[in-house]
Amino acid sequence: MNKMIKIMIFILILMIILTAIFYIFDLKTVILKQIYPKKYEQYVEQYAKQYEIDPLLIYAIIKAESNFNPNAKSSSDARGLMQLMENTAVELSNQISEEEVTAEELYDPKTNIELGTCYFANLLNQFQNIGVALAAYNAGMGRVNEWIENGIILPDGSNLENIPYQETNMYVRKILNDYQIYQEIY
């Protein structure tokens, strides 16, 4: 076989391999976007912008809290996409407007995302660290303040692996991991 034909066959094989790699990568992205969707985008984008939070972080929180099920209800009576407790939601709705929210309104995606994003923004403002704010979102501000005061976790979030509640520890890890995946695919 002459040299020119060998070069052409090599280039053709290389093009086939590169096409297959790009196809697999695109297929992977398509699959990941199904697993890590951006549902309720209108509300997430609106309130993430309003409260200066990365919308991809809000998607990661919603995925962990309810897996995008607006009718989710926990055993502790947390409701909706971002799993808000009624008393927390009432406090937040009073902070945002004069109207008090009802437990049933927490199943409304717009209301839930607005209040949940506001709540997380408040936590982030207080704790100044995403991981610590996530721990407070799950376990409550009081517990997180206690852990910080007792030196169990540091305010800068550098030792979040020391979170004493296994559920909260895993929750923070899951959301930070999902947030990283959201950043990679979007």
Residues 132 and 176 both lie in one domain: yes
φ, ψ dihedrals at 16, nearest 5°: -65, -45
Residue 114, number of CB atoms within 10 A of its CB: 22
Residues 69 and 5 both lie in one domain: no
Residues 72 and 117 both lie in one domain: yes
Residues 106 and 178 both lie in one domain: yes
Pairwise CA distance, residues 155 & 144, whole Å: 9
- 3-state SS of 95-139? HHCCCCCCCHHHHCHHHHHHHHHHHHHHHHHHHCCHHHHHHHHHH
Residues 45 and 100 both lie in one domain: yes
Residues 24 and 62 both lie in one domain: no
Residues 82 and 156 both lie in one domain: yes
Kindly tell me the sign of the dihedral angle through the C-alpha atoms of 71, 76, 78, 81: negative
Two tokens, residue 38: 């951006």
CATH for 117:
1.10.530.10
Tell me what pLDDT residue 15 has: 79
Tell me what pLDDT residue 8 has: 79
Tell me what pLDDT residue 30 has: 83
Question: What parts of the chain have a pLDDT lower than 70?
Answer: 1, 18, 22-23, 25
Q: Give the residue numbers spanning the domain of 29.
A: 1-35
Residues 18 and 79 both lie in one domain: no
Residues 20 and 68 both lie in one domain: no
Tell me what pLDDT residue 22 has: 66
Q: Which residues are catalytic?
A: 65
Residues 13 and 101 both lie in one domain: no
Tell me what pLDDT residue 1 has: 62
Tell me what pLDDT residue 98 has: 73
Residues 178 and 150 both lie in one domain: yes
Residue 28, number of CB atoms within 10 A of its CB: 11
> What is the number of domains present in the chain?
2
Residues 111 and 159 both lie in one domain: yes
Query: What would the pLDDT profile of 153-186 be if each residue is shown by its tens digit?
Result: 999 999 999 999 999 999 999 999 999 999 999 9
